[in-house]
Structure 1
């Protein structure tokens, strides 16, 4: 098999895996191989586990989220707007790409690059949280793990028993509720971000 054939097979597997996720089908490598008309052994050579394929599918979205977080920390927005903007980007990524949430939530990862991306994303989330903490804009007891779990919870709440067309609006509404709850009350009373916490 030539390098070009291998690259074509890899792309075919990835495209087929993406179609499985978009259709809300379980990502099983044998079924991906059958649908892609590629030998099972070839699929396993490229992706030894379904988790490895899932992480490959999630990688572009994770890279964009890291870039969004870095841009938020460098941007001209104030602390709360930067923090809320990044959380919004995270919610949008989970809605647009069903590979993101399970990969971010996984305790371990198959691919070293995935582990690095998730670790970087968690670190950047912590930096943004520290920024709003230092500014006194967020409830002092809120920790990084709380933020990550709440974002997963928002997406779950907006997707369970809801039609796909309803999910973006529901997610935005639930995110605004969460942001309002995270905002420190005395900061809101002073008019710093309290009017439009989700911005």
Structure 2
């Protein structure tokens, strides 16, 4: 069942709410719906009508980056070289985790506020599992390395790059990619 399109004014209000929330997230501010309403000059009830929880708003803010990462995973899956596909997907994941502050809390959440977010996250997990399995089958990665190993390692890379808070997001992403390269060099089998 699809939802009917929003009236023009409702669509504009929704977009304004998302823009303000995006700014809050980028500035590292706490995403409180009442504060977003005030900053957006929109009634609190209107904000709650569009986004019943801060988590739903955060997931909406993160949605373009999550969808872009899904597209990167699909592109990687279409590639013939198992090592390149895995490496490129992991690099895209690290880069987006380090440049979009909306993503880490969305990926770390135990539950999803929006069904679509859960669908996307499950799709990413499935793509990652397939990429890792292909790398194992091709013999290009240590066969003992599992998904359960890789997730904390990737989180560790993101953490290590993020503690360099004086760096701009793009610089932290470059550092994260360097750390990822070091990790993958250790896991790669030729």
Query: Does the pair score TM above 0.5?
Result: yes
Segments of 5+ residues of structure 2 without an aligned counterpart are: 1-5
What are the equivalent positions in structure 2 for 1:85-124 lying under 5 Å apart? 85-124=88-127
Alignment match, 1:151: 154
User: More displaced, 144-153 or 100-109?
Assistant: 144-153
2:180 to 165, 175, 183: 175
Find the residue that maps to 2:31 and give its secondary structure.
coil
TM-score by length of 2: 0.91
What are the equivalent positions in structure 2 for 1:1-199 lying under 5 Å apart? 3-76=7-80, 78-165=81-168, 166-183=171-188, 187=189, 192=190
Q: Which runs of 4+ in 1 moved over 4 A?
A: none
* RMSD, aligned CA: 1.4
Distance 2:165 2:25 in 1: 18
Find the residue that maps to 2:85 and give its secondary structure.
helix
Contact 1:126 1:144 in 2 (8 A): yes
Distance 1:95 1:101 in 2: 8
Segments of 5+ residues of structure 1 without an aligned counterpart are: 193-199
Contact 1:139 1:182 in 2 (8 A): yes
**Displacement of 1:169:** 3.0
Deviations 1:67-96 (A, max 9, x none): 1111111124x1111100000011111122
Distance 2:147 2:153 in 1: 10
